[in-house]
Structure 1
């Protein structure tokens, strides 16, 4: 399926279109063939225009899919389904924080860790409550690794 047709179907449909890896591979092959043609012709103007239009088309498709996901549409088994779900969870966690969770003067909020987690500059034990910077806390909550603690 061509990228243009894919964008058209996505724009006209109320649901998120399921895009499989085979479709992505087909598009990559088409784009590679176009780049090969451009390099043989050595026409920078055509190649630059193609690259600009391709970038804009992909950006539009991604924005449309994110918007639909944020509006509650399920991406199903699409290649980017988990990413779209994660974006929705991030927005949900952020909105809950902004609805009245306490934030200390350093930008930290209370969370309860669901798992033991050791990172570069973070060590969390399952079941314990921690004050974590808001951006990291929202990512942990969105990934299901922690819960927000209302006070």
Structure 2
């Protein structure tokens, strides 16, 4: 899908879910975050799209893959931590793990996507340093596989 068409789909989906669209004076109401692969997941790519939903934030994840040693079905745990990827706080501010099995898009360890939400406004997340971390399940060692900073 071409980039303009893909963006149109994202904005249409956001509008249909009641997400506020940005105006010239507002902060963006939809923010993209590139999630960088940890060395144990080299070559994989991931992206999170954050959208303002009243006083909460909806997050959609797209991940190109997880390490081959991750057990199936893929269970990925997601968190928002205070701090940067290089210096995360000792505890997450938000754990988004009510559902940890994601929709598989590709082969056994191929791409997957999932949607989450956190009970905090997007604008508040952007006022100080916060990072999104994706981690393997406890059975797979609780290892970080992606991290990206919310700007």
**What is the TM-score of this pair, normalised by structure 1?**
0.25
Pick the structure with greater CA Rg: 1
Q: Which is richer in helix?
A: 1
**What is the TM-score of this pair, normalised by structure 2?**
0.25
Q: Which is richer in strand?
A: 2
Q: Which has the higher contact order (CA 8 A, sep 6+)?
A: 2
